[in-house]
A = this chain, B = another copy of it.
Amino acid sequence: MKFNVASTLSYEVSEPAVFILNVEAAALRNQKILSENLELSPPVALDRHVLDGGTRLVRAVVEPGTFTVAYGATVALEMHDADPASVRETPVAELPLEVVPFLNPSRYCQSDKLARFAHREFGELAPGHQRVTAICNWIYEHVDYLSGSSDAETSASDTMVQRAGVCRDFAHLGISFCRALAIPARFASCYAWQLDPPDFHAVFECYLDGSWYLFDPTRKAALQGLVRIGVGRDAADAAFCTIHGGAQMTGMEVAISAAEEVGEGEPTVRAVGIA
């Protein structure tokens, strides 16, 4: 599947500012960037770095005035479907050790505090992809998706109490429950096909049966149409823009469309593996 993605971010810079941007499609084995273009206006020199997980950081030092970041790319996703019933959990004894840090709690995913709940609610379920689906179903059924109900400080344990949030909060809860059950889980920001209205989206990935699999407890986007941008411990690792200095965002546009006809299928009953 090929997708065209685009985003435009506009800022009013009041004093010299360092922008650390993360809007480009991540460098992942099964996410091929066929073409892309990043245009800063006014143009400024860039520093670039790809983090170990594939997240691509761009740094720009910007002088006062209007500043616009426009990104566009065509990306081919080579995801594989699997029968969820066949995707087992990988026992800790068999996990690649580089995946083990994704069992640790993080800023927004206090898997330690939520461990008793996770074990009580999901501990007796049969291990495997379907257990993570049960976790996603629980979140969907027990948390209200409500714009404005959370903010940049809201963590999974807050959401557990308040029972409302947006996509990042849903992902943080899912990650927390999985880690508590010894399932490695990480956060992914993305361009999300069919998300309405268009916006940056957040989902999570679990390491199951030798691959990372995608999960979206909000049920708002199609799993086969997720072009990932930032992949990390949680939202702290995947901000689309961090500014050191004086600047205000004045506009944001996000778009994604299929670059070819989309095949039919049964996406909702398939496990979508990504790496």
Interface residues of A (CB under 8 A from B): 18, 20, 47-49, 51-52, 57, 59, 61, 91-93, 96-98, 100-101, 103-107, 109-110, 112-114, 116-117, 120, 142, 144, 152-153, 157, 160-164, 182, 232-233, 236-237, 242, 244
- With A51-B98, A104-B237, A237-B104: A153-B112 Cβ-Cβ less than 8 Å: yes
Q: Is the CB of B117 within 8 A of A61?
A: no
Q: Give CA–CA (A274, B29) in the complex, Å.
A: 35
Q: Is the CB of B93 within 8 A of A18?
A: yes
Residues of B within 8 A of A164 (CB): 116
- With A97-B47, A162-B116: A244-B92 Cβ-Cβ less than 8 Å: yes
Q: Which of B51, B52, B105 contacts A107 (CB 8 A)?
A: B105
A83 to chain B minimum Cβ distance, whole angstroms, is: 27
Q: Is the CB of B144 within 8 A of A116?
A: yes
Chain A interface mostly: mixed
Q: Is the CB of A100 within 8 A of B57?
A: yes
Q: Is the CB of A49 within 8 A of B97?
A: yes
Q: Is the CB of B153 within 8 A of A113?
A: yes
A105 to chain B minimum Cβ distance, whole angstroms, is: 4
Residue of B nearest to A157 (CB): B161
Q: Give CA–CA (A122, B233) in the complex, Å.
A: 28
Q: Is the CB of A92 within 8 A of B18?
A: yes
Q: Is the CB of A51 within 8 A of B161?
A: no
Q: Give CA–CA (A106, B161) in the complex, Å.
A: 16
